[in-house]
Homo-oligomer: A and B are copies of this chain.
């Protein structure tokens, strides 16, 4: 694992928000790291393949990346903001219904975020 791979992973693991490739690129560049955007993408793709991080694709917005700890997401239908939330784990029921031992899933709940709710009212 290289210098940049480590930095990128650390950023994602330690971040409270959901970072896009560009967020990561800009953060590292601000730290005077001479990293290229393509390198960020390369690393993110590799880590997703290896199952070290998770990609969050939301329609209309650039992909964001997330840690693996089990949780679900609220997605703001206005601004695309993602918020972590934890609903009951349904892996067991789903797996049972599909006739397999283990099942992975992605649950997104559409929910107007605080900021957009304010703007509206």
Interface residues of A (CB under 8 A from B): 55, 57-59, 63, 74, 87-88, 90, 93-94, 97-98, 100, 103-111
User: Which residues in B have their C-beta under 8 angstroms from that of A104?
Assistant: 109-110
B105 and A105: CB pair below 8 A? no
A107 and B106: CB pair below 8 A? yes
Contact of A59 among B63, B74, B87, B93 (CB under 8 A): B63
A107 to B59, CA, bound (A): 15
Contact of A55 among B55, B59, B108, B110 (CB under 8 A): B59
User: Which residues in B have their C-beta under 8 angstroms from that of A100?
Assistant: 111
A57 to B93, CA, bound (A): 25
Min distance, Cβ A27 to any Cβ of chain B, angstroms: 22
B93 and A88: CB pair below 8 A? yes
User: Which residues in B have their C-beta under 8 angstroms from that of A59?
Assistant: 55, 57, 63
Nearest CB to that of A106 among chain B residues?
B108
